[in-house]
Structure formats: C-alpha cells, structure tokens
Structure 1
Amino acid sequence: MNKTLVCIFLFCCFSSHVFSQQKQWDSTYRPGNYTLMEGLFRSYPNSEKDIIFLGNSITDHVDWEELLGMPNARNRGISGDITFGILERLDEVIEGHPAKVFVLIGINDISRNIPDSVILNNDRKIIQRIKAGSPSTKIYFQTLMPVNNTFTQFKNHYNKDEHIQAVNEGLKKIAAGENITLIDLHPHFLDSEGRLDKAYTTDGLHPNAKGYEVWKKILLPYL
C-alpha cells in the first residue's frame, strides 16, 4: 500500500471515529407519543390560576389534580421527553401565563448520553424563556431523583449517578443565579446505599404510590 493510500485509510478511520463520537447523542429525539400529547396540551384551555407540572414520565404517571386535591393542577408530562422536547413545546405553557410551573426534567437526557453541560444550558433556557414570556409565573425547578441499579427494566438510566449529581449541583447554582426556587427532591428518596429506595419504586426509576406521597409532602409548602 503506497503512502497516499495509507493516508487516505488513516483519514477515513479518524473521520469515522470523530463522526461516531459526535453522534453519541441526538437533540432531535422525541418519544413516539410526543406529537399526540403536545397537540392535546395545546387543545386544552389555559388559566392564569393553573399550576403546571412539566416533565417526563415521572411527572406524567400521576394525576396531579387528584394527588394534590387541586383542581387547577395541570399535568404537562410526556413519557420519554428530554430537555430539548420541553424547549420545543414550552410556548404552550408560557402562553397561558400560569401561576406556577414545577419542572422536573433531565434523567432521559442522561440516559441518552446528552452531556451534563448541555442539559444545564437547556435548563437555564427554560427558566429564561418562562421569565421572558410570563414574568408573573413562579418557577420551581426540582432536582433529579436517584435511580436504583438493582432493577433491570431501565438499564440506560442506571449507573449514571455521577451525572445525576452533576446536573443537580448545576441546577442549584442556576436556581440561585436566576433567583428561582430550587426544590431538592434527591435526598428524600435515597436508601442507605445512596440509591433510589425500593420502598418508593417498582422499577428503579419511577416512583410508586408511596413515592408520589413523599413527593406530595415535599411540594405542599410551595403550593
């Protein structure tokens, strides 16, 4: 093989490696039910008295109106959603000028290898866009809950504890800098080994009924 061919071969290998690194995460991913749910949310009436719960499946899996006993609680969770998905549909939340917005998002980003810095940058964008579009809305960001790798159902979400910790620490700094309320959920769900307590989950990722009751008690002072 002459030098020219060797150089071409090495360049192709290098380019392929760089390309594969660049494609490790995808900002365009949207869950299969995203379009349906976004359309439904846009069809619902808005009120300035609304209390919005914005997030992914952890938010989506509970009836907030029933859980909290509040008829103005609104579920805006989409199972599988990521921070880019929240930004894409955030105008639907902002246009109603809700009283409060509680945000919990990021664990699916982590599972899809979106860098911590990108997640946190998106979190900041969410806050700033709500502020700009609905200045009267009170914003509450919640830290990511822990996971438990002794379960097997959501393998891409487990063993990412360092990323959860990094995002949570970053969230605390952003909340302080943006002068919004940070609700630290994470420590309330830990077991003695630093994992999501089995008493609060059936799959190592999502809360069970007892877990949602714990979450409710944490939220009550902010409602």
Structure 2
Amino acid sequence: MNRICRSARSYCLVLVGMLAASTSTTFAAPTQPLRAGMIGCDTSHATAFTRLLNASTNDVDHPCGGVQVVAALPESSDDIASSRDRLGKFTEELRSLDVEMVDSIDQLLERVDVVMILSVDGRKHLEQARKVIEAGKPVYIDKPMAASLSDAVQIFELASKNNVPIFTCSGLRYTPGIRDASSNAELGGVVGCVAYSPSPYDATHPDLFWDGIHGIESLFTVMGPGCERVVRTHTEDTDVVTGVWRDGRVGTFRGLRSGKRDFGALVFGAKAIEHYAGFGGYQTLVAEIAQFFKTGKSPIAASETLEILAFMEAAEQSKLNKGAPVAVQPLLAAATLKMPYERDVRKFEAQDRQHPAEKGQVLFVGSSSIVLWDLEKSFGHTGALNRGYGGSQFPHQFLHFDRVVKPYTPRTIVLYCGDNDINSGRTPQQVFEDFKTYVQRVHREVSATTRIVYLPIKPSRKRWSLWEKMDTANQLIADYAETDDLVTYADIVTPMLADSAPGDPPPADLFADDGLHLSAKGYAIWTSVVNELVDMKPRPTSPEHSLGN
C-alpha cells in the first residue's frame, strides 16, 4: 500500500505539472469581443454573469470587457428541485437579455468561442466539459467543478490532452479581505483560519460539494494548499471540518444549516486577527473569467483545485467513519491513478448516500468474481452487501479499506482476492502476507469479532498455467486459518476439481466463455460452500462489538 501511495503521489505531481503547462501555452489575444456560450440556465449565476459581461462587451479595457454572452443551452436536472424549478425563470431572463437559446451542446459550440458550464448539477460536468474541450473551446466551470474528485481529475486530463485552457472556482475566493489575507502585511502571515458558509445538502451530491464548497474555497484561499489530514464533526445543523496542514497550521470550515447563515472567515495572523464577513458580489469573479478567456491562463492552479475536492471527499469519509481522521494525499493518489475500481468505489458511496446500508451485514469484497456474483439470486433477500470491484489486488483492497469495509462494520467478510495478484507476477508468499495484513486491519480497525471467510484462488481454465503458484498461496492461507478462530478457509477448490482428472483444469461448464469468470454452475458451487459456513440472515451489529471505526 505504501508503495502505491508514493507512486501515486509522484504521478499526481507529474499530472499537475502537465496541467500547469497546458494552461500556460501560447494563447492569441482576441481582436474582437469573444462570443461566450453557457451550458445550464438553472442558476442565478447565468443572468448575473451575463449582465456583467454584456454591459461592457465593447470596452476591452474594462475588467469584464471583451466578452459577450450570445447563446445558452437551458439544461436542468429533474431530480434536483432547485435546478428543475428555476430553469424557466432564468431562461426567460436570459432571452430578455438577447441571449439565444439552443437545443444542444453541438449547436452551442457552432455559435461561440468560449464556454461557461454553469449547471448546478456537478454530476453532468464531466460529459459537458468533454464535448467543449474536444471542440477546443476554453471553458470556465462553475462550482462544484464536479461531483467527485475522480471526475475533476478526468476533466483536467482532457484539458491537458487537448491543450485547452480551463478555469474553475467559487466566487467566495474573491471576497474582500479573504482574497488578500495571505499577503496582508498587517496580519504578518496566516497561522490559522476558521471559514464559514451556509452548507445545505442535496442527496445527489456528497455533502460539502453542494454549497459547502464556498466556505472551503475561502479557507484554502487564506491558508493555501498543503492540507494533510481532515477530521469532521457532523450534526443535523452544523458541520465542523478541521484540517491540519503539513506545516502544522490548522484550518477549519464551519458549515451552517441553522441560525444566522452568512459567508466569512476569521483569520489568525502572527501579528493580528481579522474577521472578514459577507459576500462581495460577482464582479471580481466575472472579471477573472473574462481575463481567463482573453489570455488562456487560469488564475488558480489545478493542484489547488484538486486538493480542495480531496479535502471535501476526506470530510465525507470522516463522517462515514464517525469522525475518524482521513488523510488527503491518498485520496488524490487514488483519483489520479486512473483505476477503474476507484469509480466503482465512488458509486458505492453514492448508493449509500441515497440508500444507507445497514451495519452488521455480511460483506462480500474482492475482484470481479465477487462483482459478477448475484447475491440476491444466490442467497435470497439477506443481509448481504456486494462491494467487489473488478481487477483488484490486495494492495487495492488496502487502498480503499476505509471506504469499502469500515463504514459497514460487517459481522462477516467474505473475501476473494489473490487471483489477480498472482497473475500480475506477485508471489504466493506476498499474497499470504497481504492476507494476514488484511485480517489484522479488520480486527484492529473494524471489529475484534468480525469473522473473515476466505474464498481461495479458484482454479480456472484461462490461468491454469499459474495454478501451482495459486495453490501454494491457498495452502499458506488455509494453514493460517487453522490457527485463528475468526478466519475460515472456504474450500471451493475441491468441488470445482471434483470431476477433473489429476493435473487437469476444471470442467469448462463451470466458466463463462472467457474461461476465467464463473458460469451459473460455478457460482452454484460457491453458493453451496458459503451457505454451509455463513449465517446469511440479516441481524444488527451489537454496539459492544464495534471498535468505533
């Protein structure tokens, strides 16, 4: 795991360097007002930005000059009330400002030079940005840049690949006082900050991505990047997210959902303490957007934007883990490693936000053999939860342990892992050592009473040439299971080879056409073995069995 995190951190640095280069390339200054288009008319930003830009279109020396909003795509999201219910109002206001409405992104791109993505739904931003970036149009993306750190990384990667300038931030970054706090001589250097803002939730987004982003962007504007770990305290009315920076400074975000709600920051300096309150309006943000479109240079580094999103995702994980501290850098590493299962893990988290999973269930984890297992069909309506992600190895299980295992406090874990490890060149001893580490983490960090049922590496026709190594790993784990009452070796190997001659692979009818993944008959064997060993009936976890995560 440590090797993965170090290499991923290095990858992140390389990525950020590449992104910085992509947004500072030669960019020809426009010789006439730029035609701007908007995607999303479901926010007051659409009309406010248009009024500011179009009022000074022909005054190229004006901070907001040189850009005219000429077209917009009135998109909204039916599952977000504030998007669905406000679309008509803002669309009509834009029409009254002589902005043409179009029916598609393609139509918009034909009419404009630059694009602002203003949709309130961050889930849509990746695909919206993809079309804009592939068309070579500079793009500003309103908050939140995306509904996940992973999507944001992909947007930046697309921009880099296509050499397209990109800019994103919250307007609260430009609040008077907050913007210049880090260079304010009267403060004498920032030693800490408490930033605050309203922070209502929407079920479609991770908590702080919705509106908490405003106060968090203020926090990072004051503190700068470098946050290492995050702890979140959550109640119905308030969130308090405390970050520790690598130089030992502490910065805090307070999300408000009751009482007086406003924007601001209390900044602690070496020489003074200052309080900056209120919202300074959109003028400065829109001026920065206009300057970005005219120069092709973003005023905010990609690395800082990604760290802000990682901060919010760390806060989400801390809440799920009952206020436990969460490191920021591994989240950045996971997002920048381009691992397909990272997106799968985020889907699990999205599912849990919509339909929280009960604790104390039987948790199935591992690679694609778990992913493809229809647990409801095999075991009926039981307390079983499938959290497998295809292609994974033990190091990946460690990487996502805090998000895939700990939040559920499972009474039993059914684990299938090691197949891809051996196939990638890892040794049986390495698989065995990783298995022991996994067991230790479960009993140390989840519950001292959680039972682990290990499904050994299956004999498959496709990987039969590796069977000797796989079987050696299985035997090491089987022997270990004999010494630990909470570890069970679920022998699926013997029944899978029961109809094969010695030295021959399992029958073809146990597998799908690829000779690797199981057929219904193969899963029937696995189901029978697990049913003999695991009580699949749902039941709650006793409070005394949990270590508090």
User: TM-score, normalising length from structure 2?
Assistant: 0.33
SS at match of 1:172: helix
Q: 1:120 to 1:31 in 2, by over 3 A?
A: farther
Q: Which residue, 450, 464, 486 being the options, matches 1:137?
A: 450
Equivalence for 2:362: 51
Report the identity percentage: 23
In structure 2, distance between residues paired with 1:95 and 1:128: 17
Query: Gaps spanning 5+ residues in structure 1: where?
Result: 1-26, 150-156
The residue type equivalent to 1:146 in the other structure is P
Question: SS state of the match for residue 103, structure 1?
Answer: strand
Deviation of 1:83 after TM superposition, in Å, equals 0.7
Whether the aligned pair in 2 keeps the contact of 1:196 and 1:204 (CA below 8 Å) is: no
> Which of 145, 148, 151 matches 2:461?
148
Aligned partners of 1:200 and 1:209 also within 8 Å: yes
The one-letter code matched in structure 1 to 2:511 is T
**1:97 & 1:64 partners in 2: Cα distance?**
19
- Larger proportion of helix: 1
**Per-residue CA distance 1:32-70 (angstroms, 9 max, x = gap):** 421111112234234233111111001111221232103
Partner residue, 1:184? 491
- The residue number in structure 1 matching 2:261 is none
Retained in 2: the 8 A contact 1:198–1:204? yes
1:41 aligns with 2:348: yes
CA offset at residue 196 of structure 1?
Answer: 2.2
How many residues are paired up? 190
Distance 1:41 1:135 in 2: 25
CA contact (8 A) 1:47 1:98 kept: no
Q: Whole-Å Cα distance in 2 between the matches of residues 158 and 72 of structure 1?
A: 34
Which deviations, in whole Å up to 9, do the C-alpha atoms of 1:100-131 show, x marking residues without a partner? 11011001001100121111111001111111
Q: Does 2:502 match 1:195? A: no
Matching residue of 1:85: 396
**Counterparts of 2:518 and 2:441 in 1: how far apart (Å)?**
29
Q: CA RMSD in A?
A: 2.1
TM-superposed deviation, 1:143: 1.2
How far apart are the structure 2 equivalents of 1:50 and 1:186?
26
Distance 2:398 2:442 in 1: 10
State how far apart, in whole Å, the 2-side matches of 1:178 and 1:146 are. 25
Could you tell me which residue of structure 2 aligns to residue 220 of structure 1? 531
Q: Counterpart amino acid of 1:187?
A: T
Q: Distance in 1 between matches of 2:381 and 2:477?
A: 27
**Residues 59-68 or 211-220, more deviating:** 59-68
Structure showing greater radius of gyration is 2
Q: Give the equivalent residue in structure 2 for 1:7.
A: none
Which segments of 5 or more consecutive residues in structure 2 lack a partner in the other structure? 1-6, 9-333, 536-549
Q: Within 5 Å, give how 1:67-146 maps onto structure 2.
A: 67-92=378-403, 93-133=405-445, 134-146=447-459
User: What CA distance in whole angstroms lies between the structure 2 residues aligned with 1:206 and 1:160?
Assistant: 16
- For 2:530 and 2:341, how far apart are their aligned partners in 1? 27
1:31 Cα deviation after fit: 7.6
Say if 1:31 and 1:52 are closer, same or farther in 2 by CA, change over 3 A. farther
- Aligned twin of 1:13: none
Q: Which residue is 2:374 aligned to?
A: 63
- What letter matches 2:509 in structure 1? A
SS of the equivalent of 2:489 reads strand
User: 159-168 vs 170-179, which deviates more?
Assistant: 170-179
Relative contact order higher in (CA < 8 Å, ≥ 6 apart): 1
| Structure 1 residue runs of 4 or more that deviate by more than 3 Å after TM superposition | 27-32
Three-state SS of the structure 2 residue aligned to 1:98 is coil
Deviation, structure 1 residue 136: 2.8
**Change in CA separation of 1:132 and 1:163 when aligned onto 2, cut-off 3 Å:** same
In the alignment, is the contact (CA less than 8 A) between 1:145 and 1:196 conserved in 2?
Answer: no
